[in-house]
Amino acid sequence: MKITVTDPSLVLMIAPSGAGKSTFARAHFRPTEVLSSDAMRGWVSDDETNQEASADAFSVLNSIADKRLARGRLTVIDATNVQPESRKGLIALARKHHVHVSAIVLDVDVETCVERNKSRPDRSFGARVVRGQHERMRQSLRRLEDEGVRSVWRLEGVEAIAQAEVSRERLRCDLRHLAGPFDVIGDVHGCADELIELVESLGYEVDGTGLDAAVARHPEGRTLVFVGDLVDRGPRVADTLALVINSVERGSALCVQGNHEAKLRKKLAGRDVHVGHGLARTLEELEASSAAFRERVAKFIDGLASHYVLADGKLVVAHAGIRQEMQGRSSRAVRDFTLYGETRGETDEFGLPVRFDWAANYRGRALVAYGHTPVERAEFRNETICVDTGCVYGGSLTALRWPEREVRSIAARREYVPAHRPIAKSAPQPGEEPSLDASFRLDLTALIGGITAETEVLRRITVGAPLVASALEHSSRFCVDPRWLVYIPPTMSPVETSSVEGFLERPEQALDYYRKVGAAQVVLEEKHMGSRAIALVCRDEAAMQRRFGLANGHAGVIYTRNGRAFFRSRETEANLVTRARAAAERAGLFDALGTEWLLLDCELLPWSEKAKELLRAQYAPTGRAGITHLAAALSALDEALARGVDVRALRERTAARSSMLLDYVAAYRRYCWTVSGPEDLRLAPFHLLASEGAAHVERAHSWHLAQCDALCDADASLFSKTGRLTVELADAAQRDAAVQWWLDRTEAGAEGCVVKPETFIARGEKGPIQPALKVRGREYLRIIYGPEYTAPENLSRLRSRGTSAKRTLAMKEFALGVEGLRRLCRNEALARVHACVLATLALESEPTDPRL
C-alpha cells in the first residue's frame, strides 16, 4: 500500500503492543519525528516498560508534540493509541495547531503480537493485555473519522506492513518553492476593464477576448496572485472569472478563495443561500453563459486554496488576512479566518474579547497581503498590507509588487455600486479606541526568555535571558518611551594597538584593517568629543503622534546612547528640537526625503554637559590632586638637591609626571565649556539614520555627511560640521596623508577620528566588516587610560589589549541597529523594533573593558 501523509501533520500509529509500530516508524520516518511512549517512559523513569510512569511519560510526549506542531513539524506518535481517550488529547492538539491527523493502523494477527511480546525480555505484561489492546484497536477503526482523523491507513498482516511505502505531500497552500516575483491583485469584483489595464501596466500581455482572454506569461517570469472576490457587484464578472481561470491554467496566475467565491460555490451546488444584489448580478451573467463554463467555474472554486505561502515563507496571500500561526496550515478555522477574518465571540491569548483588527496584533515575519475590507490606500502595517482599494465602489484596483514592495493602482472608471459603509482611510480599525494602539503593544513574554533576532547583516543574533533581564530593568526604569526609543547606537571598536613609540592608537592600523578585508575606499571622520545623542525630529506634533503614537509637545526627542532622555529639562530639549526642525525645513530635507520625521545620529557638545558629575567627582579632582602633589614633591626635591642630596633621578621622574598631569588637565578642559543656556549647546550630526519608509543603511557616508552639511549650513549656530577625508586605500600617498591629517588634528586637541568604509553597511571578501573603527588621539587617551599612561613603563604594559571581543560586540550591535531601523521603516509593529533595541541594550550590559 502507498501511504501519503501531508507535511506537516500528526500521524497516529495505532496497534497493540508487539505489532511492530516502532519498527515501522523507524523505517519510514526520521528518528526525531517519532515520539515513542516507551522512550518517554524511559526518559522519566529509566525504565521503558514502567507502566506506572505512563502519566508522566504522556505528559512529556504531549508537550513535545505541542512544540513540534507549533513549529509545523511532521509528528508521529508511536504509542498503542487504541483507546479513544488516549487519542482525544492528541487530536485536540492537532486542531489547535491547524494540522491534519492521519492514522496508520497495523492490524496484525493477535497471536503474532502475543508471541513477539513473549520473546522480548523487557516486556513483562501478559497475553491478556495484548489481546485487550487488539480488541480495542478493532473497535477503534469505525470511530476514527468521527473523532477527527482525516485519513486512516489500515495495513493488514505482516506482509502488507513490510511492503507499505510512505510518501509525503505538501499542503495545497504550501508554495514556498515559488520565488516570484509576484504581483498581488486586490478584490476585482467583476471590474475586468480596470483589471486588464492594471496587469498590462505591470508588463503582462492579455491574449484573446471575452471568455477566451488569458494573461500570458510575463517576460520576466512574474506571477499574478489574486486575493479572491473576483465575482459579484461589478460589471463584467464572467469575463473576470474567465480571465483568471484561463491565466491560472496557463500558469501565469495564482488565486486564493474569497468569501464571495465561497458563497457562489454554495449557490451553484444548489444550496440555499441569501442572494443579495451582488450575487444576483453574477448569477445573471453565469445564466447567460454555457453550462460548461458554469462547470469550469465550480471546479475552479473547488480547487482554490485558503491561502498561499510563497517565496520561502516570506510572502503570504489570503483573502481576509491570516494570523501567523495559521500560515501554511489547513483546517476549518484557517479557512474561516481567511475567508471572513476574525470571527465574533473569540478570545485572544489574553482572554480578552478579540478586537477585529488582526493586523494590528500581527507579529509574524512573513508579509501578509490581503483584501476583503476596502481601504482608501494600500499601506504597510506590521508587515501586512490590505490591497483591496474598493475598485467596484469607485476607488481603485491595486497591485502589490513583490519583492519590490511597491504599490501600483488603477483608478476605477466609475462607481459601479455605492459603498454600504464609508471606506476606511487605511487598514480597518473598528471597535473601541484603545488607549494604546494595538500595533504599539509590547509583550513581555516574548522577551523575558531571551531575544533572538534575524538580522540581515549577521543573520541570527541571540541574546540570553540574564542579559535581557538587566536591560529590561534599565529600559523600564530609565529609558524614554519605547515608541520613541527606536535605535540604540552600536558600540565601536578601537583600532588594534600601535607599536609606534608613545602611541597606543594610530590610523595605520585602521587603514590596514580595511585594506585587508578588501575595502577600496574609507572615509576618516573627525570624532567630536561630546556625548552620543540620537535626535528624533518630527515635522509637527501631529506627525509625531501619527507615526510614533505619542507626541510630547515639541515634536521631537533627544536621547543618549543608553536610551535615557538627554536633558532633565524639557525646555532645553524643546529648544534644540525646534531649532533642528527649522534647520531641516530650511535645508529642504523633509520634502526631499518625502518624510515627516528624521532620525539623526549625533554627538552633543560639550562633553561637560552630560559628564558634569563625572568631571566634578572624578576627572577634575584627579587633576587637582596630581598637580598639587607633584608640585609640592618637586619643590621638596629641589630643596634637597640644593643641599647636595642625590635625588636627581626621582626629580626627573617627578617632573615628567607633573607635565603629564598638566597635559591631562589640558585634555579634559578642551571638551568643557560653560553652558548657561541651550544656545551654548551644539549638535554634530554624522548619520541621517532613517526617514519615512527608508532606513538609510545602504547609503554611502558621503551621502550622510552631505545631508548633515545641509543642516549645518541651515543653522551654523546649532550644528557643527564633521571634518572628513576620503582615502583610496590602494594609494600610498593618500594613506600617508590620512595619517598626517589625523596627527595634525589630534595634536591640535581633537579627540581623534573614526575610520569608516565607503557605505554604512559594508561587506568585505569574507562577509560583513566593521562599520567603523575609532582612532583616538594621544592626549585624549589620558582621560581613558589615566593621566600617566604615556610613561614608557606604563605604555608597554598597556599595549597588551585584545580588541576581538569588542569587535564581535560592535558587529552584533550594528546588525541589531540596522535591523531595528529596517523594521521601523517597514512600519512593522513596535514589538519587532523594540526587540532589537532591547537586545542591543542587553548586549551593552555585558561587562567589557571600558577603555576600549
Question: Among residue numbers 622 through 661, which ones bind other proteins (CB under 8 A)?
Answer: 622-626, 628-633, 635-640, 643-647, 650, 653-654
Taking the least distance from each CB to other proteins, the nearer of 122 and 433 is 433
Least CB distance to other proteins at residue 451 (A): 13
By DSSP bridging, strand 384-386 and strand 367-370 are: parallel
Each residue 463-482 as x (binds other proteins by CB under 8 A) or -, in order, gives ------xx-xx-xxx---xx
Least CB distance to other proteins at residue 816 (A): 19
Strand order in the sheet with 315-318: 174-175, 307-310, 315-318, 367-370, 384-386, 380-381
Question: Among residue numbers 130 through 169, which ones bind other proteins (CB under 8 A)?
Answer: none
Closest by CA to 626, choosing from 580, 571, 664, 599, is 664
Taking the least distance from each CB to other proteins, the nearer of 139 and 794 is 794
Each residue 769-788 as x (binds other proteins by CB under 8 A) or -, in order, gives --------------xxxxxx
What does each C-alpha distance from 692 to 121, 143, 688, 760 come to in angstroms?
A: 71, 58, 12, 18
Least CB distance to other proteins at residue 645 (A): 5
Among residues 55, 165, 797, 800, which is the contact residue for other proteins, using CB under 8 A? 797
Give me the phi and psi of 644, to 5 degrees please: 90, 10
- Cell 580588541 belongs to which residue? 803
Taking the least distance from each CB to other proteins, the nearer of 404 and 473 is 473
Taking the least distance from each CB to other proteins, the nearer of 353 and 767 is 353
Among residues 32, 51, 618, 726, which is the contact residue for other proteins, using CB under 8 A? 618
Least CB distance to other proteins at residue 351 (A): 7
Q: Give the list of residues 6+ apart from residue 407 with CB closer than 8 angstroms, or none.
A: 378, 385, 387, 398, 399, 400, 401
Q: Give the list of residues 6+ apart from residue 325 with CB closer than 8 angstroms, or none.
A: 70, 97, 98
Question: Dihedral angle at the C-alpha atoms of 634, 640, 642, 648, nearest 10 degrees?
Answer: -70
Least CB distance to other proteins at residue 720 (A): 21
- Count of other CB atoms within 10 angstroms of residue 531: 19
Q: In what helix (H) or strand (E) does residue 784 lie, and over which residues does it extend?
A: helix 782-785
Least CB distance to other proteins at residue 443 (A): 5
Pick the piece of the chain touching other proteins (CB under 8 A) from 48-56, 116-124, 511-519, 610-618.
610-618
Question: Among residue numbers 527 through 556, which ones bind other proteins (CB under 8 A)?
Answer: 550, 552
- Cell 626627573 belongs to which residue? 652
Pick the piece of the chain touching other proteins (CB under 8 A) from 363-371, 389-397, 665-673, 812-820.
665-673
Start-to-end C-alpha separation, the chain: 68
Q: Is 254 in the site for other proteins (CB under 8 A)?
A: no
Question: Among residue numbers 420 through 449, which ones bind other proteins (CB under 8 A)?
Answer: 434-436, 441-445, 447-448
Least CB distance to other proteins at residue 849 (A): 9
Among residues 46, 85, 159, 349, which is the contact residue for other proteins, using CB under 8 A? 349
Among residues 144, 195, 665, 843, which is the contact residue for other proteins, using CB under 8 A? 665
Least CB distance to other proteins at residue 541 (A): 15
What is the rounded CA–CA span in Å between residue 469 and residue 58? 33
Hey, what's the cell of 617? 567627582
Q: Which amino acid is at 748?
A: A
Least CB distance to other proteins at residue 544 (A): 13
Least CB distance to other proteins at residue 674 (A): 6
Least CB distance to other proteins at residue 615 (A): 7
Give me the phi and psi of 597, to 5 degrees please: -155, 155
Q: Is 574 in the site for other proteins (CB under 8 A)?
A: no
Question: Among residue numbers 380 through 409, which ones bind other proteins (CB under 8 A)?
Answer: none
Q: Is 351 in the site for other proteins (CB under 8 A)?
A: yes
Among residues 620, 655, 694, 739, which is the contact residue for other proteins, using CB under 8 A? 620
Taking the least distance from each CB to other proteins, the nearer of 28 and 547 is 547
3-state SS class at 299: helix
Hey, what's the cell of 359? 493586523
Closest by CA to 184, choosing from 397, 428, 411, 412, is 397
Least CB distance to other proteins at residue 551 (A): 11
Taking the least distance from each CB to other proteins, the nearer of 124 and 794 is 794
Each residue 186-215 as x (binds other proteins by CB under 8 A) or -, in order, gives ------------------------------
What does each C-alpha distance from 162 to 19, 23, 25, 99, 154 come to in angstroms?
A: 12, 10, 12, 27, 13
Taking the least distance from each CB to other proteins, the nearer of 160 and 631 is 631
Least CB distance to other proteins at residue 477 (A): 7
The site that binds other proteins (CB under 8 A) totals a number of residues, namely 76
Least CB distance to other proteins at residue 657 (A): 8
Taking the least distance from each CB to other proteins, the nearer of 681 and 725 is 681
Least CB distance to other proteins at residue 489 (A): 17
What is the rounded CA–CA span in Å between residue 390 and residue 397? 7
Taking the least distance from each CB to other proteins, the nearer of 221 and 466 is 466
Decide: residue 177, CB within 10 A, 0-12 exposed, 13-18 middle, 19+ buried.
exposed
Hey, what's the cell of 59? 505528559
Taking the least distance from each CB to other proteins, the nearer of 39 and 798 is 798
Count CA atoms within 13 Å of residue 423 on its CB side.
21
Q: Is 568 in the site for other proteins (CB under 8 A)?
A: no
Contacts 24+ apart (CB under 8 A), 470-473: 470/842, 470/845, 471/838, 471/839, 471/841, 471/842, 471/844, 471/845, 472/444, 472/447, 472/448, 472/838
Question: Among residue numbers 37 through 96, which ones bind other proteins (CB under 8 A)?
Answer: none
- Count of other CB atoms within 10 angstroms of residue 518: 14
Taking the least distance from each CB to other proteins, the nearer of 444 and 732 is 444
Among residues 118, 266, 332, 851, which is the contact residue for other proteins, using CB under 8 A? 851
Q: Is 619 in the site for other proteins (CB under 8 A)?
A: yes
Q: Is 614 in the site for other proteins (CB under 8 A)?
A: yes
Pick the piece of the chain touching other proteins (CB under 8 A) from 29-37, 182-190, 666-674, 760-768.
666-674
181: preceding bond cis by omega (within 30 degrees): yes
Taking the least distance from each CB to other proteins, the nearer of 374 and 530 is 530
Least CB distance to other proteins at residue 775 (A): 19
Pick the piece of the chain touching other proteins (CB under 8 A) from 70-78, 185-193, 205-213, 620-628.
620-628
Q: Is 669 in the site for other proteins (CB under 8 A)?
A: yes
Pick the piece of the chain touching other proteins (CB under 8 A) from 3-11, 281-289, 345-353, 450-458.
345-353
Give the per-residue SS3 of 148-198: CCCEEEEEEHHHHHHHCEEEEEECCCEECCCCCCEEEECCCCCCHHHHHHH
- Rg from Cα positions in the chain: 35
Residue 839 contacts residue 474 (beta carbons within 8 Å)? no
